[in-house]
Structure 1
Amino acid sequence: MENIAVIFFTFILISIISFVVKTLTTSSGSKLKGNSLDDFILKKDVTNVPLDSSTRHKYYEKFSKKRGIQIRIVFGTEYGASEDVAKTLYKKSKLIAHDYNSEDSQFHPRLVNCKNYQLLDWKNEHLMLFIISTSGDGVPPTDAREFVEFLDSTKLDLNHLHYSVLALGDSNYPQYCKTGIHVHDRLQTLGAMEFVRKHNVDMENAETIEKWMCSVLETLPTLNIDPQEDYLNLVEDQDSRSYNRNKPFQATIKKKYMLTTPSSVGDKETMHIEIDLSGSCLSWISGDALGIYPENNPPEVVEVLNAVKLDGTEIVYVEHPAFQVEEVTLQTALTKYYNLKDPSSALIKYLMTKDPANKLKLRSVHLISYLVKNKELLGEVRDVLSSCKNVSWSGQRLVDLLKPLQPRYYSISSSPLINPNIACITVASVKYQLLGKDRTGVCSVHLNDRCSVGTSLGVFISQNPDFRLPANGNTDILLIGPGTGIAPFMAFIAERVQEGAQGRTILYFGCQSKLKDFLYKDQLGQWEKDNHIALHCAFSRDNPNRKIYVQDLLAKQHSDVYQLMQKGGHVYVCGDATYMAHDVHNTLIDICVKEGLTKSGAMEFLSMLSSHGRYQKDVWV
């Protein structure tokens, strides 16, 4: 058997290497013009040139009566990825024209957030590009929910509309591009004409995004669309009076303390942090998250500066969706406004044009990372920059090739019924190794190691309407949240206690060690003592003979779990999507089978619970 396994894996490895070599030396199989891998990755046109401060586009025009071929680039985003893609497409489409000799035939793109769909006169729209993310497992982004409901209910005849959809998601979730797929299906049902086929993008894969954009930009000039005057009056952001992802509130840390007791290298370091929102008028509901803009680790900034041989004092023009800044030093820009973890496709392309050695090295790693769906093989920005030679840098060129630094999201672990001005979060420091080097998470280590009481943070509320307590306090609830997955459940329990809910609250919590990382141990113990909760804990490392997880405890209590689900109870799962949530889901299926359902019947039963809001998940990869 061992020899067979060795032969099999050797065959697989040889096949992958052969495929890589063939792909690097021949065509990509794309139907696009110039379909070699070099043409695809290094496509040379003006759209790949970053814009300097004198030629930058104003992305959001409030009102324009420009005549031309009107293009609506409609995006729906939760965390900013779709908006970034939409802005890139906007810049590219501004640089092409249907007929350079006729102003009437110039393309005139406008960026439109899905939440502003009501401002569109659908009967007069002829060309629309939809860039839509899916939040988690099949859920539309908050800003796109009403738009999706509109598409579901409208009976408009859209046979005059040309469209294409780019659907973004994460394949770690079973329904990872569901929202974009659904938008595409509804548009077809309403008679709209797809001029470039829908592309599904897994984990912001640059190749897929680029293929779709190239195809769209090449096809646009071939469409027979009459020019018209732009009517669209985009009023100021409807949330302009409040704070949001593009306008964060500067809150301060009021209190922080360690929840774990690490005693050796590798032990978990998790902190409870209280953030003062006084004066913001921000409000939330238990189950919502707090978005936080972090800062990059100073030593990582220094490594980037060393790699490009700059000292950080150069003044650069900054373009960031959330911060109204213009000119700052390069060091400040890299610290506060740009993503130093994920190299952009624009950065990779630029480096590949500068030296044959860079080209061979990067395109090989780039392709292999795509094949094995592991973009971390490229490393971080500092790794890519350090590995490439013969590149001369200016600060402006560098930041123009970087992605903006995006916020991180933390479930709020406090109820607004207790204190509407204090939002608590539970933060586990992320520390890991990549390419043989120690690495740290951007936001978690910033919060836990570098922020102190009084530190200012840019924050906003991220709504999570699919993770809510039942309206009736007499309803039994089952909470499954190992590790920091307990965070929203701390808010749930506190709220149920405050309101005097009569329904049972059953909590399954898991961690490695009762002594080291039993989060909120004292508070949970008090709630259990006061009969507010029934507490079941799995300490996976305390038993040297067998690891115990929350799903093992659920399986032991199969009759009680099944009866709760059958009698109208609600089930909530929060935490890791890749392993924990998957294993818990399979355990719930097994429980239903053990209680008399067929496997297909059990799956249908859980699906019914989910569709009725009685099986809710807040999980992440």
Structure 2
Amino acid sequence: MTRNILFQIHWFLGITAGLVLAVMGVTGAALSFEPEILAALNRDHPAATATPRLSGLQLIAQVMRQRPEAKISRVTVANTPDEMTTVSYQSGTSKKRKVERLDPYTGTLLGEPRGTEVLEVVEHLHRWLALPGEGNGIGRQITGFSAIALIYFALSGLYLRWPRRPLDWRNWFVLDFRKTGRNLYRMLHAVIGGWVLVFYLVSGFTGLWWSYDWYRQGVRALLVAEAPAERHKGPKDVAVDLPRAWDGFVRATGGRTYDRITINVRDYGEVQFRAKLPDARHDRVSDELTIDGTTGAVIDDQPYATRPLGEDIVTSMFELHRGAYFGMVGRIAMLLASLTMPLFTITGFLLYFARRRRKAALAAVVADVGVSPPTDNATTIVAYASQTGSAERIARLTADALPDAAALPIAALDRDTLSRATRLFVVASTYGEGEPPDNARGFARTMEREAPDLSHLDYAVMALGDREYAEFCAFGHRVDRWLHDQGATRLFDAVEADGNDADAQRQWQHQLAGLGARTDQPDWAPAAMEDWRLVERRLLNPGSSGGEAWLVTLEPVAAAADWMPGDIVEILPQQDVRRVDAYLATPGLPEALDRAVLMTHILPTGVTDVATLKPIGHREYSIASIPASGRVELIVRRCTAADGFDGLGSGWLCNGAPIGGIVQARVRSNPAFHPPADNAVPLILIGNGTGLAGLLAHLRHRGASGGGPAMLYWGERHPAQDDFLAGERQALVDTGVLADQRIAWSRRPGGHRYVQDAVAADAASIRTAVDSGAAIYVCGSVQGMAPGVHAALATILGESLLEEMLGSGRYRRDIY
């Protein structure tokens, strides 16, 4: 909760004060080197080598000679050629102050320094955004508020980005430019923010000195032991004798040499001399004297050597603000830190807009699917751990797809909810370096201290993360392991999503369909499809008492496609023509409806505007062939929908699409079911029904490239009609690609009824193969076969070893 509140304030201040701070940063960077800029623009013309620079007394006399009506307010007497000698004064009754350069060798007035007007505008922008009212207007309040915001940004930013391994210096200082998009913006924002944090705190705390009188008085009271005594009782506007004041200064300092002497005429006839010490690191490393401008007597003498630290800080507030208090290195560091302020404004807005897009996507889903049913009686729960809304969006779509499912934040998963639920689907994002989202931190602590019995619960996890971080999907996998360790049964392996990975979202949607989820939803993340030609369709089980199984062959129309064993082909199906005809016969429909549009969209239950129809979602099938064939082969079981017409995907491929016609499809990589990197690894292949396709791809790959032996366990209905591709399988045995095959026939008396029975009966052989390094691949139905096979393998190998194999990639499943 605390973290979320701090974050909300952080981004709110960022979009309000961020632009102001960007302006203040750039202008402050320019002002930090204002004397050098002016000196560079107004170089003194060198005199003859033997010509000495005039003393302050001589320069004052020259000014008074050239401007007899002038009322001098400041004289800067530089002793080095890289600084300007200047005088400030008012003419006659005018209150406007003029600044002119002085030739330090002759005392000739040279006019206003070049660049002064520009830098004056820069200063006004920096101090009050050049708004009306100047220092007493609204601009000063805005910049003061922005200085407070800068302090908050630095402190809250440190808290929000505190790494899991704070002692690893790389977490603080290393920029990884391999990151892209939001990750790049976040990295720049966080890492560079760590670099400049101290400088921003100094800028913020010192900047408030000029923004608020109460702040200035408070700091002075805190750092300076005693307030200066009030000594002014006479008239305020007293004429001063600058030559006499200069003589008094020279007597008081004993003719000591200084790098620069600044003379300021004050009220009550006082003249302040600020004498910068030789080789001083900043301007306020100076002896400061106040001289009576009428008598030349010393009123106050404050040598730098005796100045207390607190008073030195108060006196040097401006030098602290621009970094000069720490010498030239400090000035350069503060300059660079100031110049980075626009970076934080830009990256902050980019992150904000990215967050807004995700929130907008979530709002669209909420508006479309409506509110989830109450969780009080729901037995199917969809929990989300979301930082930016992406996980919540997928969770709400998931709840809408599953019958009577309720979506809730993972923080709401208490013991009562978990004990009542029979199925749990978790969509969990990972934030930063393997951390849970803010709204899941409480549940993360619950996982550490509680171990409820969840043996009654079936679950699945979708883990969202970013591969640019080392701890990819760490929190999602942590939830997956915790649920498994408490006895819950995994419905299918965790689906990993890299950012807004469209393939992962469609894979999750497809897995849900295998568990009875709605199939009339459009794709949650549509992808571009390509043209493939349907070149062959062959019935594999004529006369079977089960559904028809077809071998469907597609060829790419354009460039040749490439894939790996285990990959998926996504099909964009069309409606059964008979279903469209039945819909067009609905009374009350407008005339001239576009049949082509209806063929590719989800049909409504009544009269509706065709423009509001949603496109049919994709269907997924395991690829049975290898790229060398140039063709994608699928094994598809033709299904009948609840309305009596063909199912969308299977009906289109097995009956609706004409031979030679175009099918919209694309190949999707499925790394979770790819073959081992080493072909010598033995394979144990287990599946049922059309799952033979995914296993056959691995066998054909081994047949073409060679490698270790494979063992096939497969189940179907009856050998007389359902022995799919028996000739090819026997050929694989004959050539040694298959060491052997164990077939379970569910409709033939005697023998093993289901494939899990065949696995259990071969326990000793499987245990020996696994001990020898074999990998297990399972492909087929998520209901019945997959949990049955997993239970048999757990009995043979032990749950711990099976989990270890799952983590290392030696146990892979493609179940649907």
TM-score (norm. length: structure 1): 0.52
Verify the 8 A CA contact 2:361 2:393 in the aligned structure 1: no
Q: In 1, distance between residues paired with 2:802 and 2:539? A: 37
1:99-121 CA distances to partner (integer Å, 9 max, x unpaired)? xxxxxxxxxxxxxxxxxxxxxxx
- Relative to structure 1, the CA distance from residue 571 to residue 308 in structure 2 (aligned partners, 3 Å threshold; closer, same or farther) is farther
The SS at the match of 1:527 is: helix
Q: In 1, distance between residues paired with 2:394 and 2:794? A: 29
Verify the 8 A CA contact 2:744 2:754 in the aligned structure 1: yes
Instruction: Specify which of 552, 562, 574 is matched with residue 273 of structure 1.
Output: 552
The SS at the match of 1:247 is: coil
Structure 1 residue 564 displacement after superposition:
1.3
Matched, 1:413 2:677: no
Q: In 2, distance between residues paired with 1:528 and 1:180? A: 41
Q: Tell me the equivalent position of 2:766.
A: 561
Q: Tell me the equivalent position of 1:339.
A: 602
- Relative to structure 1, the CA distance from residue 92 to residue 303 in structure 2 (aligned partners, 3 Å threshold; closer, same or farther) is closer
Q: In 2, distance between residues paired with 1:504 and 1:449? A: 37
Structure 1 residue 559 displacement after superposition:
0.4
Verify the 8 A CA contact 2:434 2:475 in the aligned structure 1: no
- Relative to structure 1, the CA distance from residue 570 to residue 203 in structure 2 (aligned partners, 3 Å threshold; closer, same or farther) is closer
Q: In 1, distance between residues paired with 2:458 and 2:709? A: 31
Q: Tell me the equivalent position of 2:648.
A: 442
Verify the 8 A CA contact 1:296 1:442 in the aligned structure 2: yes
Aligned amino acid, residue 427 of structure 1: V
Structure 1 residue 153 displacement after superposition:
3.3
Q: In 2, distance between residues paired with 1:74 and 1:148? A: 19
Q: Tell me the equivalent position of 1:72.
A: 355
Structure 1 residue 519 displacement after superposition:
0.9
Q: Tell me the equivalent position of 1:470.
A: 676
Structure 1 residue 570 displacement after superposition:
0.3
Verify the 8 A CA contact 2:429 2:463 in the aligned structure 1: no
Instruction: Specify which of 791, 797, 803 is matched with residue 607 of structure 1.
Output: 803
Structure 1 residue 453 displacement after superposition:
2.1
Instruction: List structure 1 runs of 4+ shifted beyond 6 angstroms.
Output: 65-69, 82-86, 90-93, 147-150, 181-184
Matched, 1:579 2:784: yes
Residues 565-574 or 244-253, more deviating: 244-253
Q: In 1, distance between residues paired with 2:762 and 2:557? A: 44
Verify the 8 A CA contact 1:254 1:276 in the aligned structure 2: yes
Q: Tell me the equivalent position of 1:618.
A: 814
Which has a greater percent of helix?
A: 2
Q: In 2, distance between residues paired with 1:516 and 1:424? A: 20
Verify the 8 A CA contact 1:467 1:616 in the aligned structure 2: yes
Aligned amino acid, residue 580 of structure 1: M
The SS at the match of 1:438 is: coil
Verify the 8 A CA contact 1:508 1:535 in the aligned structure 2: yes
Q: In 2, distance between residues paired with 1:248 and 1:267? A: 32
The SS at the match of 2:729 is: helix
Matched, 1:297 2:601: no
Aligned amino acid, residue 537 of structure 1: I
Count the aligned residue pairs.
Answer: 369
- Relative to structure 1, the CA distance from residue 286 to residue 67 in structure 2 (aligned partners, 3 Å threshold; closer, same or farther) is closer
- Relative to structure 1, the CA distance from residue 271 to residue 184 in structure 2 (aligned partners, 3 Å threshold; closer, same or farther) is same
Matched, 1:488 2:694: yes
Q: Tell me the equivalent position of 2:609.
A: 395
Instruction: Specify which of 565, 572, 577 is matched with residue 286 of structure 1.
Output: 565
1:309-334 CA distances to partner (integer Å, 9 max, x unpaired)? 215514xxxxxxxxxxxxxx2x2222
Q: Tell me the equivalent position of 2:732.
A: 527
The SS at the match of 1:307 is: coil
- Relative to structure 1, the CA distance from residue 203 to residue 538 in structure 2 (aligned partners, 3 Å threshold; closer, same or farther) is closer
Q: In 2, distance between residues paired with 1:405 and 1:83? A: 23
Aligned amino acid, residue 333 of structure 1: V
Q: Tell me the equivalent position of 1:232.
A: none
- Relative to structure 1, the CA distance from residue 153 to residue 284 in structure 2 (aligned partners, 3 Å threshold; closer, same or farther) is farther
1:315-370 CA distances to partner (integer Å, 9 max, x unpaired)? xxxxxxxxxxxxxx2x222211x223xxxxxxxxxxxxxxxxxxxxxxxxxxxxxx
1:396-415 CA distances to partner (integer Å, 9 max, x unpaired)? 4xx52x44211101101001
1:448-471 CA distances to partner (integer Å, 9 max, x unpaired)? 112232110111112111101111
Matched, 1:425 2:706: no
The SS at the match of 1:616 is: strand
Matched, 1:514 2:795: no
1:369-405 CA distances to partner (integer Å, 9 max, x unpaired)? xxxxxxxxxxxx44xx3xxxxxxx4534xx52x4421
Structure 1 residue 286 displacement after superposition:
1.0
Verify the 8 A CA contact 2:716 2:744 in the aligned structure 1: yes
- Relative to structure 1, the CA distance from residue 459 to residue 127 in structure 2 (aligned partners, 3 Å threshold; closer, same or farther) is closer
Q: In 1, distance between residues paired with 2:687 and 2:368? A: 43
Please list, as runs of the form range in 1=range in 2, the aligned pairs for 1:146-295 lying within 5 A after superposition: 151=431, 153=433, 174-179=458-463, 246-262=527-543, 266-295=545-574
Please list, as runs of the form range in 1=range in 2, the aligned pairs for 1:27-38 lying within 5 A after superposition: none
After superposition, the CA RMSD in angstroms is 4.6
Aligned amino acid, residue 72 of structure 1: R
Q: In 2, distance between residues paired with 1:283 and 1:491? A: 13
The SS at the match of 2:677 is: coil
Q: Tell me the equivalent position of 1:79.
A: none
Q: Which has the higher contact order (CA 8 A, sep 6+)?
A: 1
Verify the 8 A CA contact 1:71 1:128 in the aligned structure 2: no
Q: In 2, distance between residues paired with 1:73 and 1:510? A: 50
Verify the 8 A CA contact 1:541 1:547 in the aligned structure 2: no
Q: Which runs of 5+ in 1 are unaligned?
A: 1-64, 76-81, 94-125, 137-146, 161-171, 190-199, 205-243, 315-328, 341-380, 386-392, 593-601
The SS at the match of 1:176 is: strand
The SS at the match of 1:153 is: coil
- Relative to structure 1, the CA distance from residue 127 to residue 287 in structure 2 (aligned partners, 3 Å threshold; closer, same or farther) is closer
Larger Rg: 2
- Relative to structure 1, the CA distance from residue 559 to residue 445 in structure 2 (aligned partners, 3 Å threshold; closer, same or farther) is same
The SS at the match of 1:313 is: coil
Q: In 2, distance between residues paired with 1:431 and 1:411? A: 20
Identity percentage of aligned residues: 20
Q: In 2, distance between residues paired with 1:303 and 1:563? A: 58
Q: In 2, distance between residues paired with 1:470 and 1:275? A: 27
The SS at the match of 1:466 is: helix
- Relative to structure 1, the CA distance from residue 442 to residue 449 in structure 2 (aligned partners, 3 Å threshold; closer, same or farther) is same
Please list, as runs of the form range in 1=range in 2, the aligned pairs for 1:368-387 lying within 5 A after superposition: 381-382=604-605, 385=606
The SS at the match of 2:649 is: helix
Aligned amino acid, residue 764 of structure 2: S
The SS at the match of 1:583 is: helix
Please list, as runs of the form range in 1=range in 2, the aligned pairs for 1:535-550 lying within 5 A after superposition: 535-543=741-749, 548-550=753-755
Verify the 8 A CA contact 2:715 2:754 in the aligned structure 1: yes
1:56-107 CA distances to partner (integer Å, 9 max, x unpaired)? xxxxxxxxx99998463677xxxxxx998675459999xxxxxxxxxxxxxx
Q: In 2, distance between residues paired with 1:255 and 1:301? A: 25
Q: Tell me the equivalent position of 2:193.
A: none
- Relative to structure 1, the CA distance from residue 604 to residue 301 in structure 2 (aligned partners, 3 Å threshold; closer, same or farther) is same
Verify the 8 A CA contact 2:686 2:778 in the aligned structure 1: yes
- Relative to structure 1, the CA distance from residue 515 to residue 173 in structure 2 (aligned partners, 3 Å threshold; closer, same or farther) is farther
The SS at the match of 1:452 is: coil
The SS at the match of 1:271 is: strand
Aligned amino acid, residue 560 of structure 1: S
Structure 1 residue 514 displacement after superposition:
0.7
- Relative to structure 1, the CA distance from residue 538 to residue 84 in structure 2 (aligned partners, 3 Å threshold; closer, same or farther) is farther
Q: In 2, distance between residues paired with 1:506 and 1:129? A: 41
Matched, 1:591 2:796: yes
- Relative to structure 1, the CA distance from residue 245 to residue 448 in structure 2 (aligned partners, 3 Å threshold; closer, same or farther) is same
- Relative to structure 1, the CA distance from residue 527 to residue 72 in structure 2 (aligned partners, 3 Å threshold; closer, same or farther) is same
Aligned amino acid, residue 614 of structure 1: R
Structure 1 residue 498 displacement after superposition:
0.7
Structure 1 residue 548 displacement after superposition:
1.1
Structure 1 residue 494 displacement after superposition:
0.8
